[in-house]
């Protein structure tokens, strides 16, 4: 097997998180791509590859579907009354104040005699008590964040509304992210033209499964990514699957314009171990599985599997998000058939820019 084929296999296995491979002349892959530059890491600017051509039609369809989805959202928003819009905007400012750890601004969303009952049944009576509770919460939890998903808003009078929904509370620990999902019912009242919250009661959601919530930690993987060499092109597309319970990554490797290898990786929450887990199968017949964990700004995937030649393999893969459009990958501590291989150099992977839609393309996609 020549060096180009070795590089190909290594490129495929970086997506599997399995590491590098040694074959034929026993020459390991090492640094098949350049390191990320200091300018890229510090700029925060996209490092997209605008001239990548694979799957342009799929990109165009995705854009068209996104436009259709946006139109549907706009139509739904147009049906809302001014009071419902005002309540939803209040929810947005509440989330911002919470994520900014501003206890006073959070409490300002409540009436002076509001009641807040958490999931454990603890009652906080009055705006001052809520302020103290939020201050203690922000002090005890590092970089806590919250997301609100409103299920419904019902008006029982022109000045009283009941809101039901779920909250996703996230805190960052030393080596992992803790996510708590809760349901809530809130009663809002309109006072002097302003909507305030008079009561909030948290409760256990009917569906306590954490799959979709936990998987949000890896949402940055979604999209189309590419690693382009002199005559090789490695790209993968990541999207949600099965109602958001899994991430599905499909990867392909082209050499001299010809597809040489492909495969899939499925990532999901494992309720048995309480960890994010991945399963990988490549077109050569190799497979692996592994667990993810967070280490500060990096995500680490420890994988174990078998190559297409039947040799056991293991590897630790490090993913680092540089900015919204750039990540680096590195494989360390990897073995194949009991043989330790050198660590790879960091590899830069960039988000692939979609091909622009022409007027004719837009009309064609709409007709489909």
State pLDDT tens for residues 92-145: 999 999 999 999 999 999 999 999 998 878 899 999 999 999 999 998 887 788
CATH number attached to the domain at 3-70+214-367: 2.40.128.20
Domain locations along the chain = 3-70+214-367, 81-209
Q: What is the mean pLDDT of the chain?
A: 78
Q: Are the C-beta atoms of 186 and 199 separated by less than 8 Å?
A: yes
> Tens digit of pLDDT for each residue in 300-346?
999 999 988 999 999 999 999 899 899 988 889 989 988 998 988 88
Percent of the chain clearing pLDDT 90 (strictly above):
38
- Cα 163 to Cα 151: distance, rounded to the nearest angstrom: 8
Alpha carbon separation from 368 to 239, 356, 358, 362, 365 (Å, rounded): 22, 18, 16, 10, 5
pLDDT of amino acid 168: 84
- pLDDT on residue 121: 83
Instruction: Band the pLDDT of 32: cuts 50, 70, 90.
Output: very low
Residue indicated by tokens 């909030």: 200
For residue 115, the model assigns a pLDDT of 96
CA distance 320 to 348: 10
Do the Cβ atoms of 124 and 115 come closer than 8 Å?
A: yes
Beta strand 347-351 with 223-228 is antiparallel
For 81-209, CATH number out of 3.30.70.260, 3.10.450.50, 2.60.40.10, 3.10.510.20 equals 3.10.450.50
- Encode pLDDT of 234-265 as tens digits: 888 999 998 888 999 998 888 888 887 889 99
pLDDT (tens digit, 9 = 90+) per residue, 258-296?
Answer: 887 889 999 999 988 888 999 999 888 989 999 998 887
Say how many C-beta atoms besides its own lie within 10 A of residue 79's C-beta.
Answer: 7
**Residue pair 276/23 in contact by the 8 Å Cβ criterion:** no
Q: What are phi and psi of 71, to 5 degrees?
A: -65, -40
Helices 359-367 and 56-78 meet at what angle, rounded to 10?
Answer: 70
CA 80 – CA 74 distance, rounded (Å): 10
- How far apart (Å, rounded) are the C-alpha atoms in residues 249 and 267? 8
Q: Tell me what pLDDT residue 347 has.
A: 82
Tell me the pLDDT band of 72, cut-offs 50, 70 and 90. Answer: low
Extract the tokens encoding 82.
Answer: 């001014």
């Amino acid at each position: 097997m020549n060096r180009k084929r070795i590089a190909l296999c290594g490129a495929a296995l970086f997506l599997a998180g399995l590491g590098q491979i040694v074959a034929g002349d026993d020459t390991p892959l090492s640094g098949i791509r350049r390191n990320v530059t200091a300018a890229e890491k510090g700029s925060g600017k996209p490092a997209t590859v605008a001239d990548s051509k694979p799957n342009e039609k799929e990109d165009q369809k995705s854009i068209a579907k996104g436009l259709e989805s946006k139109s549907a959202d706009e139509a739904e928003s147009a049906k809302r009354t001014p009071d419902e819009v005002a309540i939803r905007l209040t929810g947005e400012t509440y989330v911002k104040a919470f994520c900014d750890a501003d206890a006073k601004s959070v409490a300002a969303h409540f009436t002076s005699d509001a009641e807040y009952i958490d999931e454990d049944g603890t009652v906080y009576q009055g705006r001052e008590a809520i302020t103290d509770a939020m201050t203690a919460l922000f002090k005890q939890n590092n970089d806590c964040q919250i997301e609100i998903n409103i299920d419904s808003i019902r008006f029982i009078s022109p000045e009283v509304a009941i809101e039901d929904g779920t909250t996703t509370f996230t805190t960052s620990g030393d080596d992992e992210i803790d996510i708590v999902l809760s349901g809530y019912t809130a009663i809002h009242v309109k006072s002097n033209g302003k909507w305030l919250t008079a009561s909030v009661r948290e409760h256990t959601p009917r569906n306590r499964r954490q799959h979709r919530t936990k998987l949000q930690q890896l949402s940055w993987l979604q999209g189309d990514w590419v690693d382009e060499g002199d005559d090789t092109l490695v790209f993968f597309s990541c999207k949600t699957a099965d109602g958001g319970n899994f991430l599905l990554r499909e990867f392909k490797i082209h050499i001299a314009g010809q597809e040489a290898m492909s495969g899939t990786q499925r990532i999901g929450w494992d309720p048995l171990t309480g960890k994010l887990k991945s399963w990988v199968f490549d077109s050569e017949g190799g497979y692996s599985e592994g667990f993810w964990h967070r280490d500060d700004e990096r995500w680490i995937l420890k994988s174990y599997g078998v190559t297409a030649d039947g040799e056991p393999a293991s590897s630790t893969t490090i993913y680092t998000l540089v900015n919204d459009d750039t990540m680096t990958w590195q494989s360390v501590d990897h073995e194949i058939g009991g043989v330790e291989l050198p660590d790879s150099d960091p590899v830069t992977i960039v988000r692939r820019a979609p091909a622009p839609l022409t007027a004719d393309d837009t009309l064609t996609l709409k007709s489909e």
